[in-house]
Structure 1
Amino acid sequence: MMNLSAGKNTVTFKSFGIELVGNLYLPEGFDENKKYKAIVGASPFPQVKEQVLGTYGPEMAKRGFVFLGFDYLGMGDSPSLPGEFKQSRYMFRLIENTWDAVSYLGTLPFVEEIMGLGVCQGGSIMASAAVTDHRIKKLATVSGMMAADAFQWTDKTVVNQMIAGANHSKQKIYETGAPDYVAPFGLTDDQSREEYIELAGTPMAGESYDYYGKDGIKGPKAVENFTNMHIGDQAMESLISISEHYADKIAQPTLVVYGKDAPTAICSTGFIDKLTNEHEVLAVSGFGHVDFYHHPDAVKVSTDAVAEFFNK
């Protein structure tokens, strides 16, 4: 076994026959002869492991947990499959990558129990993975895009335009054998804040730019292996929200944390309404969707709540 120590350790594990790259965060005073609760993390779209998972990993390790944050197939430091291209993040593969991350944690002799924590799209990924992976003993979602149909599909005209663009991109990639990169939310790596807010025209534009924009807290300058540009067929899978339609099948105890004033609150409340398992809810005033990615006060609220829930 590799040499592991308290803090951040670079690790790899196999998924789809290739080595995915992760950061394994271990608590202070880590002793490989002791037993720890471990958490596998799932990140928001379109993130790499140095963003939200790089914030939550150290926080959960500080609270005594082993935490695995990793780059999905084709993202960040993880390679794409032969003949495929980087910056391709597909829902069904994300679920399988998560199952393999759980398998990897299960090989570590100091791990006694595995939990799942997902933020934004990561909530949907983790909940979907957990439906048939009961090795995941408890779930927590933060700002989760859980019951996303009402959020994503409200304007069918816009959605069908996105689908048409994605279908065109898929065909183009197949025929040319070359990647077709787009900015899924209209945000490129070069725009100014003013340009993006005017273009996006959504309530979340400012907070999104401050995180992902050119000079953002976790934008392309701050995070070397991150870009806002992605393979153009993305919408063909990101518009399918599996966890919403399997919510009543989730057996594991679940914690749902969200900002009650955030535009995405409906994605958590709609999911909560469909849960039939033992679950707890923490709806917080005063924080937006993206605040739970990085704002110290919001992150403290969510990580304290997750630690308490996972320790019960």
Structure 2
Amino acid sequence: MNIRQVTFKSFGVDLVGDLYLPEGFEEGKKYKAIVGASPFPQVRGQIPATYGPEMASRGFIYLGFDYLGMGDSPALPGEYKQSRYMFRLIENTWDAVSYLGTLPFVEEIYGLGVCQGGSIIASAAVTDHRIKKIATVSGMMAADAFQWGDPAIAKQTIDAANASAQKMYETGEADYCWPIVLNDTMSREEFNALGVPMSDDTYNYYGKDGVAGPGKVKNFTTEHIGDQPMQSLISISEAYADKITQPTLVVYGSSAATAICSTNFIDRLTNNPVVMAFDEFSHVDFYWKPDAVKVSCDAVADFFNK
């Protein structure tokens, strides 16, 4: 496998990425390139390390990268690591597109987002028509259907984020929390006992004994800055779905707890999207299970090659 570690500028700092190149890559040829956007927490050692080789094996260039403040990418001066803000994730994606546009062997640029990465890619594509097609897999596309379903819980989450923002402003120190409740030391039994939705599915990937948990993936932690829900609860892709003009593929598990996040997004699209629903796969199965990854990558490759 041909991987190049690269850096590109965003907000004036160097974001660190991996460029996956097809077998037999030649500098003088032209290739279709993919910007990959990953789920929480946007580190390239998780989803990009799975989807990058898969898409490269199908003839594409794939860029996976650590978003601002994540993994090997620095936070902005005076700010903190693990600061995950939706608007900045979108701008980081625009800069990733700009970087790919500088490469002489890149012909066209597409966007592929998994989970929250789907929302990031779709949001970026609204006003970035350099992205010629987009695909979402297990996309957390529709915040209204999922994050705002219980107004009391949404208010509690926002109140906690507001308090964290105020505390950091006043103290000048980072305020960390566990936004998906799971911490870096919990056992599966401890996490399941909390009654969190999708707990077993989540632990399979993010838990300390999961396939991509702390210690398994470089620089990964489930700990994050406490004010990030102030932006993560705003779904730009959902609000502007009818403005997306690029051809769009939506892949999701129809029996997954998050299926409504894809179906509500599909309902708001006006660009005649291609939809592929699989009853046999959960939300997180598409992150790592070989059968789920294969069907999603096959679907994406076929869609991008049309």
Which TM-score band (shorter chain)? over 0.9
Match of 1:79 in 2: 74
> Is the contact between residue 33 and residue 60 of structure 2 (CA under 8 Å) also seen in structure 1?
yes
> Is the contact between residue 115 and residue 137 of structure 1 (CA under 8 Å) also seen in structure 2?
yes
Q: AA paired with 1:220? A: P
Decide which of 172, 175, 194 is 1:177's aligned counterpart.
172
**Alpha-carbon distance in 1 for matches of 2:283, 2:44:** 19
User: What percent of counterpart residues are identical?
Assistant: 73
Q: Deviations over 1:90-148 (max 9, x none)?
A: 00000000000000000000000000000000000000000000000000000001122
5+ residue gaps, structure 2, are none
**Alpha-carbon distance in 1 for matches of 2:166, 2:53:** 42
Match of 2:196 in 1: 201
DSSP 3-state at the match of 1:243 = helix
Match of 2:281 in 1: 287
TM-score (norm. length: structure 1) = 0.97
> Is the contact between residue 45 and residue 218 of structure 2 (CA under 8 Å) also seen in structure 1?
no
Decide which of 245, 255, 270 is 2:249's aligned counterpart.
255
Aligned pair 1:58/2:53, yes or no? Answer: yes
Q: CA deviation at 1:278?
A: 3.3
Q: CA deviation at 1:221?
A: 1.2
Match of 2:91 in 1: 96
Q: AA paired with 2:82? A: Q
> Is the contact between residue 206 and residue 213 of structure 2 (CA under 8 Å) also seen in structure 1?
yes
5+ residue gaps, structure 1, are 1-5
**Paired residue total:** 306
After alignment, is 211-220 or 287-296 more displaced? Answer: 211-220
Q: CA deviation at 1:230?
A: 0.2
DSSP 3-state at the match of 2:210 = coil
Distance 1:257 1:132, change over 3 A: same
After alignment, is 40-49 or 52-61 more displaced? Answer: 40-49
> What does 1:1-312 correspond to in 2, within 5 Å?
7-202=2-197, 204-312=198-306
Q: CA deviation at 1:276?
A: 0.7
Q: AA paired with 1:207? A: D
**Alpha-carbon distance in 2 for matches of 1:296, 1:87:** 29
Q: CA deviation at 1:199?
A: 1.2
DSSP 3-state at the match of 1:14 = strand
Q: CA deviation at 1:59?
A: 0.2
> Is the contact between residue 252 and residue 278 of structure 1 (CA under 8 Å) also seen in structure 2?
no
DSSP 3-state at the match of 2:193 = helix
Q: Deviations over 1:8-63 (max 9, x none)?
A: 11000000000000000000000010000000000101231110111000000000
Q: Deviations over 1:244-288 (max 9, x none)?
A: 110000000000000000010001110111111132000011100
> Is the contact between residue 42 and residue 67 of structure 2 (CA under 8 Å) also seen in structure 1?
no
> Is the contact between residue 189 and residue 214 of structure 1 (CA under 8 Å) also seen in structure 2?
yes
> Is the contact between residue 20 and residue 78 of structure 1 (CA under 8 Å) also seen in structure 2?
yes
Q: CA deviation at 1:224?
A: 2.1
**Alpha-carbon distance in 2 for matches of 1:200, 1:166:** 22
Q: CA deviation at 1:7?
A: 1.5
DSSP 3-state at the match of 2:194 = helix
Q: CA deviation at 1:200?
A: 3.7
DSSP 3-state at the match of 1:22 = strand
Structure 1 segments of 4 or more deviating over 6 A? none
DSSP 3-state at the match of 1:293 = helix
**Alpha-carbon distance in 1 for matches of 2:184, 2:44:** 18
